[in-house]
Amino acid sequence: MTTAHQTLRPTSAQLDAADPLAAQRAAFYTPDDGQLTAYLDGNSLGRPLDITVASLQSFVQDAWGSRLIRGWDEQWMDEPTRVGDRIGEVTLGAAAGQVTVGDSTSVMLYKLIRAAVDSQPGRDEIIIDRDNFPTDRFIIEGIAKERGASIRWIAANPAAGVRPHDLDGLLGERTAVVVLSHVAYRSGFLADVKAITAKVHDAGALMLWDLCHSVGSVPMELDAWNVDLAVGCTYKYLNGGPGSPAFAYVNSACQDILQQPIWGWMGAADPFGMTDAYQPAQGIRRFITGTPPVLAMQPLKDMVELIASVGMDAVREKSTKLTEHAMNLADEMLVPLGVAIASPRDPAERGSHVTVDHPLFADVTAKLWERGVIPDFRPPHGLRIGLSPLSTSYAEVELGITAIRDVLLELQ
Amino acid sequence: MTTAHQTLRPTSAQLDAADPLAAQRAAFYTPDDGQLTAYLDGNSLGRPLDITVASLQSFVQDAWGSRLIRGWDEQWMDEPTRVGDRIGEVTLGAAAGQVTVGDSTSVMLYKLIRAAVDSQPGRDEIIIDRDNFPTDRFIIEGIAKERGASIRWIAANPAAGVRPHDLDGLLGERTAVVVLSHVAYRSGFLADVKAITAKVHDAGALMLWDLCHSVGSVPMELDAWNVDLAVGCTYKYLNGGPGSPAFAYVNSACQDILQQPIWGWMGAADPFGMTDAYQPAQGIRRFITGTPPVLAMQPLKDMVELIASVGMDAVREKSTKLTEHAMNLADEMLVPLGVAIASPRDPAERGSHVTVDHPLFADVTAKLWERGVIPDFRPPHGLRIGLSPLSTSYAEVELGITAIRDVLLELQ
C-alpha cells in the first residue's frame, strides 16, 4: 500500500472508527475459541445474534412449553403472516398482507411459478437466465416438463447480469412468467427491478424476483416497483440459521387470481373445519400449505428487528462501502497475482458480495477455512467475499483479503 | 367409583407407582407457574424436553455460530438422512437409507403422491378414505385435478376405521396409490398396515401410509411390512416443536423408479456443481428439495434418543394402558352424562388417543383450556384425549377426565 492513490484512501481502522453501525457488531455471537478471524460468508449463512439463544429458550419454555397447543390459537396461526408483514415493512417495501413465511425457497418457487403458469392459459413460456441460481433453474425445468411449457433462456453476460434489453426478442404473448434474481448469486450484479418488471408487464406477463441474495442488504420497494411475485430466503442477511424458512411476496392485486398447487390444510379457508373439499383461503394465506414452521422462524425475527433499529438505508450505505473496500483491496493485493474481479465496479449495480476468480480458488478456499478465514467457493473458480453489513468490519475485510493473497502465494 | 367392578381396578396412584416409565416424565419441561394441570394433547403438539433448551443453545453457539458455513460440509448436508435413519431405526423398523427429514407433512405428501401417480402411466386412480386427515384429502384433491386422476373414496365406518375388506371393489388395474392413516386422527383407530399393504400390492398399486398420529407411540416394521411410502410429522409424539419438519420413508425398492416433482438443488446429484440441468440424486436424497431445515430438526433428535433409551415396546405398553385407563374413567364419569366413546375398545386397534363425543364439547374444551386441562377438539363434537406415553401420568388422565365431567355438568 504505497502508491499515492492508495494512501489517499482511509485505512480499515479509519473506516471502522467512522462506521455508524460499528456498535451493531457486538450483537452477534462470537465463538470464544479465537479460531474465527474473518467471516466473509454472511451472504450464504448469516451469523447468529447473541439474543437468539435467549429467544429460543423463551420460545421453548414460555410459548411452546407453557402455552402448548393453545399457542396455535393465541399466536402461531398468524405467525407466518405476522413475521411476513414485518419482513415486508422493514426490508421489502411491502404493505401488510402480502408476505408469508414458510417452506424452503425451492418449494416456494415451485408454488408461485406453478401458480403463475397455471393461471395464464395460452401463455406457455417461462423466461430465466442461464446464470440464475441452480434451484431456480431446476424448479423451472421440472415445471416446464410437467406443464408442457417452454423455457426461454436469457443469454446475458454473466459478469454484467441481466439488463432490460436482454429480454428483447424473448418477451411476448406466450410469456407466462419471468424469473430473475435481484442480486446474482455469483457476480453480485444488482438488477434494475423497476425497469425489468415494467417491461415484463408491457408484455402482459408476470414477474417473479428471487430476493435470496438481496433481502436484508439492499433496500427494496416491491409495492412501488409493482412487483407481482417474489421469494427469498432468511438464512443469509436475515440470520435465521441453517435451513430457516423462506418467504413469499404476492402482490395483493395477484392474490385472488392465482392458485398454488399444493393444497395443504393451512392454506384452506377454514383449517380446523375439517371440511370435505379444499377451499383456498382469501389473500396471502392461500399460499401457505402445511403447518407453519413456527420454531424455525423465531431466530430471523431478532435480525429483522436489528435491521429495523438502524434502517435499510444505513445498511445499504455500509454494504456499498464494504464492497468498495473489498474491491480496492483486491485490486491492490489480488489482481497482481492473476485474480480477476467478477463483480460490477459500479456500486449502483452491486449487491453485498464481491466475487473474484482464479483457477486455484477451490484449493485456496479449503486452506482459508482451516485458518478461520471463511469466504465460499462457487464453481468454476469463483471465490465469494460476502459482506453482511451489520456483522462485518472493514478490518475483517482486509484481514480476509490479505489471507487470500497469502494462501494464493503459497499455492502458486 | 364404588361398584365392585371398579374397585378391582388399580387406582391412578397405583398405576403410576408401578409404571416402569414414570421416571421419564421428569425429562419434560414443566412450567413453574402451576397453571398446567393435565396435558392431554401430546398427539397434537408434544411437550418440549428440558434438554432441548441446551440442545438449541449448543446448536446456535457451537454448530451454527462457530462452524458457520463449514457446518454444511462437516455435518448438515447429511443431517436430513442421518436424523431420518435414526427415526427409522428407533421408531419405524426401517433400515438405513430410506428416510429423510424436511418440508411440511403436506408438502411431503404432495411430493410422494405425485411421484407415485406420475410413475405409473395408465393408473389414474387414487384411493383414500373420507375420514382421513383434511390435508391428505386436500393434497390428493389438488393432485387429481392437475393430473386428471380420479379419487376413489373408501366409505369406511368412521368409528371403526379402514379394514382390508373396505378396499374391495375399489382396488384394480387403474389404482396408482392408496393413502391411509396408520392411526386415524379422530377415532384413534389403528390400521392393519401389513394386511392392507399386501392387498394393495396384489392390485399392483403403491401404498402410502400417513404416520403422523402413530410415529413415536406405536411400533412399526415398515421394511418387514413391505410398505412403499410413508410420511409422518415430528411435532406430536416426537416432540419437535410447533411446525417441526416432516419425514418421508421411501422403500429402497421404489427409490429409483420414482421421481418427485419439485426439483430443488438439494435433491440434485451434485448440489454444489451448479450444473446446467437437473439430475436427481440416487437413493433417498432425490426426495429432498430445498435447503434442509437443520435448526428446526434439532429438538426432535432429543426425543428420538429418549424413545431409544426405553424402546418402542415399552412406549406402546404404556400407551395401551393409558388409553385403557382413559376409557375406563370415561365409562364411569362421562358416559352417564351422555358422552359417547368414539375410539376402538380393542387395544390392538387403538393408537395413543381416545376420542369422546358430546354436542357440548366445543364449549367444554374452551373452558378446560382456561383451567389448564388441555385436550383438543375436532368437529363436529369430538374431544380428543391424547396420551403421550413418556410425558403423561395415569393421575393426569384421571384429573383430566374428572375436569371434563365437572365442566360438562356445569354446562348441561
Q: Which of A278, A307, A336 is the last residue of a domain?
A: A307
Q: Provide the shortest C-alpha distance from residue A108 to chain B (in Å).
A: 9
**Residues in A 252-271 with any Cβ partner in B closer than 8 A:** 261-266, 268, 271
pLDDT range class, residue A171, cuts 50, 70, 90: very high
The reported pLDDT for the residue numbered B236 is 98
For residues B250 and B269, membership in a common domain is answered with yes
Residue B106: its chain A contacts at CB < 8 A? 262, 264-266, 289-291
Strands ordered across the beta sheet of B376-378? B340-341, B353-357, B382-386, B376-378
- Residue B189's contacts (CB-CB under 8 Å, 6 or more residues apart) are B159, B160, B161, B162, B183, B343, B344, B349, B350, B351
For residues A194 and A291, membership in a common domain is answered with yes
pLDDT range class, residue B4, cuts 50, 70, 90: very low
Cβ burial of B217 (10 Å; 0-12, 13-18, 19+) is: buried
Name the residue type at position B407. Answer: V
Indicate the residue of B48, B261, B264 with minimum beta-carbon distance to A104.
B264
Within a domain: A83: yes
For residues B343 and B289, membership in a common domain is answered with no
For residues B351 and B295, membership in a common domain is answered with no
Q: What are the pLDDT digits (tens) for A115-145?
A: 999 999 999 999 999 999 999 999 999 999 9
Q: Does A65 contact B105 at a Cβ distance shorter than 8 Å?
A: no
The reported pLDDT for the residue numbered A193 is 98
Q: What are the pLDDT digits (tens) for B138-162?
A: 999 999 999 999 999 998 777 778 9
Within a domain: A64: no
**Secondary structure (H, E, C), B345-403:** CCHHHECCEEEEECCCHHHHHHHHHHCCEECEEECCCEEEEECCCCCCCHHHHHHHHHH
For residues A252 and A317, membership in a common domain is answered with no
Q: How far apart are CA B329 and CA A363, in angstroms?
A: 68
For residues B297 and B339, membership in a common domain is answered with no
Q: Which of B290, B307, B324 is the last residue of a domain?
A: B307
Within a domain: B59: no
Rg, chain A, Cα only: 22
Residue A138: its chain B contacts at CB < 8 A? 263-265, 268, 277-278
- CB contact B133 to A (< 8 Å): yes
Cell numbers for B57, please give them: 443453545
Kindly report the length of chain B.
412
Name the residue type at position B237. Answer: Y
| Nearest C-alpha in B relative to A298 | B296
**Residues in A 169-228 with any Cβ partner in B closer than 8 A:** none
For residues B176 and B225, membership in a common domain is answered with yes
- Residue A22's contacts (CB-CB under 8 Å, 6 or more residues apart) are A16, A393
Q: Does A56 contact B61 at a Cβ distance shorter than 8 Å?
A: no
Q: How far apart are CA B241 and CA B53, in angstroms?
A: 12
Q: What are the pLDDT digits (tens) for A233-268?
A: 999 999 999 999 999 999 999 999 999 999 999 999
- CB contact A273 to B (< 8 Å): yes
Cell numbers for B171, please give them: 382396488
Within a domain: A225: yes
Within a domain: A68: no
Looking at every residue in chain A, the average pLDDT score rounds to 95
Within a domain: A57: no
pLDDT over 90 (residue A197): yes
Q: What are the pLDDT digits (tens) for B216-233?
A: 999 999 999 999 999 999
Q: Does B134 contact A103 at a Cβ distance shorter than 8 Å?
A: no
Q: What is the CATH number of the domain that holds A195?
A: 3.40.640.10
For residues B20 and B152, membership in a common domain is answered with no
Containing H/E element for B100?
A: strand B99-101
Residue B57: its chain A contacts at CB < 8 A? 53, 56-57
For residues B109 and B44, membership in a common domain is answered with no
pLDDT range class, residue B6, cuts 50, 70, 90: low
Q: Which domain holds residue A196?
A: 75-307
- The conformation of residue A47, written as its DSSP 8-state character, comes to P
Q: How far apart are CA A124 and CA A152, in angstroms?
A: 10
Indicate the residue of A47, A138, A297 with minimum beta-carbon distance to B68.
A47
For residues A95 and A210, membership in a common domain is answered with yes
Mutation to test the B interface, candidates A25, A41, A263, most B Cβ within 10 Å: A263
- Residue A185's contacts (CB-CB under 8 Å, 6 or more residues apart) are A132, A133, A212, A213, A378
Q: What are the pLDDT digits (tens) for B96-122?
A: 999 999 999 999 999 999 999 999 999
Cell numbers for A275, please give them: 371440511
Model ipTM value: 0.96
The reported pLDDT for the residue numbered B7 is 59
- CB contact A119 to B (< 8 Å): no
Q: How far is CA A52 from CA A296, A318, B241, in A?
A: 12, 24, 17
The reported pLDDT for the residue numbered A4 is 45
Indicate the residue of A76, A146, A278 with minimum beta-carbon distance to B138.
A278
For residues B287 and B344, membership in a common domain is answered with no
Task: Identify the three-state secondary structure at position A250.
Answer: strand
pLDDT range class, residue A319, cuts 50, 70, 90: very high
For residues B277 and B136, membership in a common domain is answered with yes
Q: What is the CATH number of the domain that holds B367?
A: 3.90.1150.10
pLDDT range class, residue B276, cuts 50, 70, 90: confident
Task: Identify the three-state secondary structure at position A242.
Answer: coil
* Strand segments (E) across B233-326: 247-250
Within a domain: A67: no
Q: Which of B307, B334, B364 is the last residue of a domain?
A: B307
The reported pLDDT for the residue numbered B1 is 44
Angle at A201 between CA A195 and CA A203, to 5 degrees: 115
Q: How far is CA B94 from CA B85, B222, B304, in A?
A: 8, 6, 14
The reported pLDDT for the residue numbered B160 is 76
pLDDT range class, residue A7, cuts 50, 70, 90: low
Containing H/E element for A317?
A: helix A312-333
Interface A–B counts its CB contacts (< 8 A) at: 271
Q: How far apart are CA B28 and CA B25, in angstroms?
A: 6
Is-contact B101 B80, C-beta < 8 A? yes
Residue A69: its chain B contacts at CB < 8 A? 41, 44-45, 374, 376
Within a domain: B170: yes
How many domains is chain B partitioned into structurally?
Answer: 2
